[in-house]
Amino acid sequence: MSVVTTKDGIEIFYKDWGKGQPIVFSHGWPLSADDWDAQLMFFLNHGYRVIAHDRRGHGRSSQVADGHDMDHYADDLAAVTAHLDLRNAIHVGHSTGGGEVVHYLARHGESRVAKAAILCAVPPLMVKTAANPDGLPKEVFDDFQTQLAANRSQFYRDVASGPFYGFNRPGAKVSEAVIQNWWRQGMMGGAKAHYDGIVAFSQTDFTEDLKKITVPVLVMHSEDDQIVPYVASGPLSAKLLKNGTLKTYKGFPHGMPTTEAATVNADLLAFIKG
C-alpha cells in the first residue's frame, strides 16, 4: 500500500497511476480517494498521471484523534506532492477537498502547480456570519455533529440517499449502488476525524487564501447544490480569485463528479487543455 508519512507521523494513503502531466484529486467529506473513480479512470485513459489521497482520518490513512483542520489537510497534501516530486500539476478538489486545494495553494505556494479546479467547493466560507449573510446557520453544522455522534451509520445513509446526490428531488433516478458506495467510504474513516471535519469545512474562512492565488482556477458549481449552497460559494470564490473562471450548472447535485461524470470530466479536460 502506498503511503507517505507526514512530519507529525501520520500515514497518508495515496493512489498514483499512469504517466504524463499529474492531476491531483482532493476528495470531499467524509469520503476517500475512491470517490474520484470516474475521474481517475477518465484522465488516466487520456494520458495523464492521476494521484488521489485519503485525507487524514479518512479511508486508509491513519485514524488519529487530532489534526483535523485545514492547516493539517493542506500540509498533508503538500507532503504527498513533495514525496512524489510533482511538477506542473493540476489540482482538483471537490467540496471539502476544494477548500483543501485553496488552502494548500495559499499556504505552500504555486511553484509545483499549473492550474486548479474546485467543484461544489466550500470556499469562501460556509457558515453564516455578519460578513457572510448568505451562509448556513451554525446550528445546521452543530446538528450534523449531533447526528454523527448519535448514529453515524444512519446519518451517512441519510446524506447519501438524500441531498448529496439530489436523490430527494422529484423524479430523481436513485442509485442504490451509489448510496452504498458513499456509505462504505464514510464508514471506512474515523468518527473523530469526521466530527472535527465538520468544523473544518464549515467554519474555515478561505477569503484571504483565494485572493493569494494567481494560477488559473476553474470554479464549477451547481445552482441546485443542497450541501454547499451556490449563492454563498462558487460565484464569490470566482470573484475573489485573480484568475478564476466560473462554470455554473443548473440541476446537478453536490455529488456531480459521480452522477454527472461525463459532463464534469469533459469540462475539466477542456479547462486543463485550454
Q: Active-site positions?
A: 95, 225, 254
Rounded Cα–Cα distance for residues 107 and 71 (Å): 8
Burial of 262 (C-beta count, 10 Å sphere; 0-12/13-18/19+): exposed
The position carrying cell 489521497 is 53
Lookup: cell for 178: 451509489
H helical segments located in the chain: 37-45, 70-83, 96-108, 138-161, 176-188, 191-203, 207-212, 234-240, 256-259, 261-273
Closest listed residue to residue 121, CA positions, set 220, 207, 203: 220
Backbone angles phi, psi at 37, to 5 degrees: -50, -45
Rounded Cα–Cα distance for residues 223 and 173 (Å): 19
Q: Which residues contact 243 (CB under 8 A, 6 or more apart)?
A: 213, 214, 215, 216, 217
Q: Which residues contact 129 (CB under 8 A, 6 or more apart)?
A: 135
Lookup: cell for 30: 467524509
| Prior bond of 253 cis (ω within 30°) | no
**The sheet that has 244-249: what strands, in order across it?**
3-5, 11-17, 49-53, 22-26, 89-94, 113-119, 217-222, 244-249
